[in-house]
Chains A and B, each alone.
Chain A
Amino acid sequence: MGLTDEEYARILELLGREPNETELGMFAVMWSEHCGYKNSRPLLKLFPTQGPRVLQGPGENAGVIDIGDGQAVVFKMESHNHPSAIEPYQGAATGVGGIVRDIFAMGARPIACLDSLRFGDLKERRTAYLFSGVVAGIAGYGNAIGVPTVGGEAFFSPSYQGNPLVNVMCVGLLEGAPAKGAAAGVGNPVLLVGAKTGRDGIHGATFASEELGEDSEERRPAVQVGDPFREKLLIEACLEALKTGYVVGIQDLGAAGITSSAVEMAGRAGTGMELDISRVPRREPGMTPYEVMLSESQERMLLVVEKGREDEVKRIFRRWGLDATTIGRVTQDGVMRVWDGEVLAAEVPVRYLTEEVPTYVREGRVPDYLGPAQSFDWHALPEPADYNEALLKLLSSPNIASHEWIWRQYDHMVQTNTVILPGSDAAVLRVKGTSKGLALTCDGNGRYTYLDPYTGGMIAVAEAARNLAACGAEPLGLTDCLNFGNPEKPEVYWQLKQAIEGMAEACRSLGIPVVSGNVSLYNETDGRPIFPTPVVGMVGLLPDIEKRAQQGFRGPGDLIVLLGSTEDELGGSEYLYALHGLELGRPPRLHLEREARVQEACRAAIREGLLSSAHDLSDGGLVVALAECCLTGPNGPQGARVQVPRGGLRRDSAYFSETQSRILLSLPEENLPRLAAIAERLGVPYSVLGRTGGERLEVDDAISLPLSELQRVWKEGLACHL
């Protein structure tokens, strides 16, 4: 069940007796890493979680941040890695369902999803199968519930071959105060609403907290099956029920089903709960209390309702065609008491399942691979003989190529708020009835984090913030998914700790609180850990949505300007991977103070209305960013002619170095003096590279390619594998 001998001994000590089967199952799930954060909790305390706008930090179903006018944005990201590795469609679909429930459990209407995907080499047939299954699952679920999937990222590396990552973020808009996930008010009835309970997904939480191996295929029954139709009804019914004011507490049933929801709700309120699970509506006969308590059947919520008001609440659910059944009541003795009719099936103090979760502060050790990997010197590699070919090769890498194949399968426009569609640095949604906009992005480079966990953690935060700055938004807060290997291995624990420390430093320095998140450890296949991969989901605010930017060149005759400067940093780059198959070297450094100034300069220029476009530089560096700006213009492809200042760098480094804190801008020439004034005021270096126009991308005398060829290669780079 995933408990160690020591943990079992501790349970005996706490209870003063042997637990029965149901109780033991409850301990196993609540003490799993997935629910109990027993390895990561001490490290997560390093994150700054406060801020003037933060209404709710970590600890509830999702984080909540004030955006003025009595409105708030609610968001969280969650992983569904292991289920997706076994059963891609349902694994990903239920990942969407789960995170969406977390958002409307706070009383917010879900307004957008984003997905961050990591898969192995697409040339492997199984990778292509898993990847298309996951995209279809996200589409199948997200499209049906009417929540637009507006953004995300996808990255491919052999490191994720057997253990892909599927992280989904959901964002909601809240009017008024957030709902609570606490079982308050002794005597209040506890209602189970939504779908019926079946045998699916039993022990999903423990499955999520162990390594994948040869027998993982046998865990297919631990994967749940989703019903987006019911989820859509559940969204509407729950939001309507919350409006009555009679719902005291609400929480979704996710990992560990009724057990975790009931325990966490009682835990937050310091109360107990008495449940009679014989009342739970079942999908199949003969389920044992153990199965009912641990089932992870989807599309269910637990509600605590003001005593005497159950009928009014139940009526709403019935109108939407959903079950709503009173299965228990809140008690004051702090004990979770589970009856199966007349028989007492479990009796455990709530505290034992929450506060008494063992936590482990482990010893970390610098991994052996790190020294040699970091000291790899790419200068020994030859320069490309033909830079046209080098650029085309980069553009055809599935990491850089157009991801339209993915997002075209997602309904990214439903709810009619999407103002900047997928394919730019960040998606932008309007907030109807206001002048505000929300910018959404997710980011995280596992390759950098593998090569330097601390820097990789910092860059994950900084780049997400830069994506937001490039569309004119200021970051409000972030949510994260920490995808790592087995923390019981000292090398993996070290990676985890370093990455968290790096992220925390970047958060403090850039003033971005962490308001929610999720930890996914044990991402290993046959003992090999994945690249340590922190993924950051970030939400930013545009006070005036008319003052925004997108990444593509708008038309001919604009000046092209690079904000920031380029250093000799090809280590860990997409260039080394796409051209040489190497994932080595020291990744780019990050100077947080410089980063903040570059972001501020870009935001200021957008708010003064100076820019035609702005694009964050990331994988592939400057010349890849130029090509992307050419190909993603809102008015169709747009050519450009530029001179790249070399500053003593080798040409490949000047073109493809992934130096951080750079943003590529285009603007009418008459706006240059005002941009220069902003850059000088903030001490940000900039250089004028050239001009937009024509039918080709021309860089120095090294690259000259027709847009049609760039477009063909870039559009097919991902799609040709699927």
Chain B
Amino acid sequence: MKFGVVVFPGSNCDADCYHAVKNVLGAECDYLWHQDRSVAGYDAIILPGGFSYGDYLRTGAIARFSPIMAAVADFARAGGLVLGICNGFQILLEAGLLPGAMRRNIGLSFRCEFVNVRVENTDTPFTSAYRPGQVLRLPIAHGEGNYYADPETLAALEAGGQVVLRYSEPDGRISEAANPNGSLHNIAALINKEGNVLGMMPHPERASEAILGSEDGRGIFISILRYLERRRGK
């Protein structure tokens, strides 16, 4: 099983994802350069957090034009697993691999803190290691995590079980107070209709070791690994 972590100019969680996959999970992992035109040979692609191209225009708006993104889109269309974390989620939205858009946080400032998210769908390649309704303690760190989609799209997302994580109270209740950025329906993570592209604002790689205060994020990587092993076994 081989993971590829894409390095855009301005990515800054690339090394953290690499560390979580390689050293914590013990899986194979390589960095992929934004100018590469192929992702052949990889089983899962991670678009890491950061400020790709400075995010000066709009988060993720330039990165989607990187040569590697065409290869990532082809990979996704062919059923490959793509995980976008934070800026990676924003890039997936800009690239049209996930529906909707991000606006600035409702308080207009960057927020870095641990939040609680409830797992809404465990029937995905990214969340099978969790229990339905399980509450995870994961860090966020972003200025634009305020998810928006038009009502029809939102209804379709809800109906299709595409909302994978939702900001919640520690006991799992969904409340406005638990929403750190104003995201519609408290959405923290989304999956595409086909179920192989996940975008999430919280950082699972920052919560994969006990010494960092939470291991709740490791389930994301473990789920991916299990899914790939099963798929290979078939």
Contact = CB atoms under 8 A, between A and B. Distances in A.
Contacts of A537: none
A233 B50 contact: no
Contacts of B206: 413-414, 416
B211 A229 contact: no
A143 B110 CA distance: 9
B177 interface: no
A413 B139 contact: yes
A393 B203 CA distance: 38
A144 B9 CA distance: 11
Contacts of B15: 415
Contacts of A20: none
A250 B113 CA distance: 36
Nearest to B15: A415
A146 interface: yes
Nearest to A147: B12
B51 A414 contact: no
Nearest to B24: A416
Interface string B2-36: 00000001101101100110010000000000000
B112 A412 contact: yes
Given A146-B50, A228-B54, A430-B211, A409 B112 contact: yes
Nearest to A417: B212
Interface string B205-234: 110010111000000000000000000000
A320 B139 contact: no
B53 interface: yes
A412 B110 CA distance: 12
A508 interface: no
Interface residues on B, range: 20 to 34
A136 B205 CA distance: 26
B54 A411 contact: no
A260 B139 CA distance: 42
B19 A432 contact: yes
Q: Please indicate which of the listed interface residues A136, A421, A432 has the most CB atoms of chain B within 10 Å of its own CB.
A: A421
A229 B212 contact: no
B61 to A, nearest CB: 13
Nearest to A229: B54
Interface in B66-119: 109-113
Interface in A385-420: 407-416, 418-419
B141 A418 contact: no
Given A144-B51, A146-B13, A229-B53, A416 B113 contact: no
A210 interface: no
B54 A145 contact: no
Given A146-B50, A413-B141, A432-B19, A320 B9 contact: yes
Contacts of A409: 109-112
Contacts of B13: 146, 414
A410 B112 contact: yes
B52 to A, nearest CB: 9
A408 B111 contact: yes
Contacts of A410: 110, 112
A416 B111 CA distance: 17
A545 B51 contact: no
B211 A545 contact: yes
A409 B111 CA distance: 5
A445 B66 CA distance: 50
Contact of A419 (B20, B55, B212): B212
A321 B52 CA distance: 13
B211 to A, nearest CB: 6
Contacts of B211: 419, 430, 545
A136 B19 contact: no
Contact of A414 (B10, B16, B54, B213): B16
Interface string B119-141: 00000000000000000000101
A461 interface: no
Contacts of B139: 413
Contact of B10 (A232, A407, A416): A232
A143 B51 contact: yes
Contact of B51 (A228, A320, A412, A419): A228
A139 interface: yes
Interface in A197-252: 227-230, 232-233
Interface in A542-583: 545
11 contacts: A139-B110, A229-B51, A409-B109, A410-B110, A414-B12, A414-B141, A416-B20, A416-B209, A416-B212, A430-B211, A432-B23
* Nearest 8 interchain pairs by C-beta: A146-B12, A229-B54, A144-B51, A411-B141, A416-B16, A411-B112, A409-B110, A413-B206
Interface of B: 9-10, 12-13, 15-16, 19-20, 23, 49-51, 53-56, 109-113, 139, 141, 143, 203, 205-206, 209, 211-213
